[in-house]
């Protein structure tokens, strides 16, 4: 038996270059494996972005008040930014568990962080597409005067990152597929109905506003409104900090879940 000299052994793949290569491959793999769902994603984003903007307007007798219009116009883009990462992708992981492909995907010869990065990239592309659709719909339907500032870039990136991290944590930490599905649907319902994202906080009970202060969704609303709303918004730095904290905590949970050996 001839053993290969040490110099000819395959080298350990590590470092930024190899990570980047693995990320590109993982992104291609993620998109390819979801290719049947891509039309569905487009439908979800358009329904969410345009559908909510137009639908909320029907709640009002006559023209919607300008304050409501501001919250709807700046709140719906948030839904479009989180819907893929927080609602859709955890369900994909749940489906993998049901189909017994979860362990296979986890066993791929690529850093597991690339999976999150690929996931985030997909969420960002789909979310920005939906966000633009919602902003166009809002300006056409309500003639709202939005002022897009450069802060929209960090705001979009961070909102999407926080929701992707939270979705990633839910998808990997919750091992019961049924529970994952219910959790993501209830979260969606909570954000749209019980978080001051698409309507001002003073229109809901004070205790619910307090509950929301510890959650990331009200902060997403503050960050987005300050970036595109064209009105002065208070507590922006705190909102960025809350989002960063939720991102960090979610990633910690996700790392613990992903590294756990069964």
Partner 1 sequence: MSAQPLAATLLGRSPRRPAGWLRAYLVMLRFDLSSQRTWLPFAVAMQILLGAGMAIIYGFYVPHLPRAGILYLVSGAPALSLIPLGMVIVPALTGQQRTAGTFDFLWSLPVARGIQVASTLTVCSLIAVPGVVATLALATWRYGVTLSISPAVIPAFLLTSLMASSVGLGLAHLVRNPMVVNLVTNILIFLVLLYSPISFPKSQFPTWLADVHEGLPFYHMAVVIRASLTTGLATDVGTSYLVLGAWTLAGWLAVGWVMSRRR
| CB-nearer residue toward partner 1: 164 or 195 | 195
Burial (Cβ within 10 Å: 0-12, 13-18, ≥19) of residue 46: middle
d(Cα 26, Cα 42) in Å, to the nearest integer?
A: 21
**What is the three-state SS of 22-86?**
HHHHHHHHHHHHCCCCHHHHHHHHHHHHHHHHHHHHCCCCCCCCHHHHHHHHHHHHHHHHHHHHH
Our finding on whether 51 is near partner 1 (CB under 8 A) is yes
Question: With binding defined as CB under 8 A, does residue 47 bind partner 1?
Answer: yes
Q: Look up residue 20 and give its two tokens.
A: 């980047």
Closest C-alpha among 141, 142, 166, 147 to residue 220: 166
Which of residues 151 and 204 has its CB atom nearest to partner 1 in the complex? 204
Choose between 96 and 117: whose C-beta lies nearer to partner 1.
96
Cβ at position 112, least distance to partner 1 in Å: 28
Q: What number of chain residues touch partner 1 (CB under 8 A)? A: 20
Does 63 help bind partner 1 (rule: CB under 8 A)? Answer: no
Q: Which is nearer to partner 1, 78 or 152 (CB)?
A: 78
Interacting stretch for partner 1, rule CB under 8 A, among 25-33, 99-107, 158-166, 189-197? 189-197
Q: How far apart are CA 73 and CA 50, in angstroms?
A: 10
Six-digit token pair at 11?
A: 């080298």
249 is a site residue for partner 1 (CB under 8 A): no
Query: Judged by CB under 8 A, does residue 102 bind partner 1?
Result: no
Pick from 28, 33, 59, 214 the residue near partner 1 by CB under 8 A.
59
* Residues at the site binding partner 1, with contacts judged by CB under 8 A: 40, 47, 51-52, 55-56, 58-61, 68, 186, 189, 192-194, 198-199, 203-204
């Amino acid at each position: 038996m001839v053993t290969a000299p040490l110099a000819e052994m395959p080298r350990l793949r590590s470092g930024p270059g190899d990570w980047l290569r693995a990320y590109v491959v993982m992104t291609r793999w993620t998109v390819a494996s979801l290719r049947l769902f891509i039309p569905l994603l487009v439908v979800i984003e358009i329904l969410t972005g345009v559908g909510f903007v137009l639908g909320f307007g029907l709640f009002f007798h006559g023209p919607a008040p300008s304050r409501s219009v501001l919250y709807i116009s700046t709140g719906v883009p948030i839904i479009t930014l989180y819907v893929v990462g927080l609602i859709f992708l955890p369900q994909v992981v749940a489906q993998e568990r049901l189909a017994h492909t979860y362990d296979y995907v986890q066993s791929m010869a690529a850093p597991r962080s690339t999976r999150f990065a690929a996931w985030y990239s997909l969420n960002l592309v789909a979310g920005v597409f939906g966000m633009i659709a919602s902003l166009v719909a809002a300006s056409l339907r309500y003639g709202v005067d939005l002022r897009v500032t450069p802060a929209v870039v960090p705001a979009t990136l961070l909102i999407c990152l926080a929701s992707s991290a939270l979705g990633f944590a839910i998808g990997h930490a919750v091992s019961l597929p049924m529970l994952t599905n219910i959790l993501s649907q209830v979260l969606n319902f909570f954000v749209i109905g019980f978080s001051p994202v698409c309507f001002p906080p003073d229109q809901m009970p004070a205790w619910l506003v307090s509950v929301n202060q510890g959650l990331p969704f009200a902060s997403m609303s503050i960050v987005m409104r300050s970036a595109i709303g064209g009105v002065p918004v208070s507590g922006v730095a705190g909102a960025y900090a809350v989002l960063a904290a939720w991102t960090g905590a979610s990633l910690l949970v996700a790392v613990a879940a992903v590294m756990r050996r069964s």
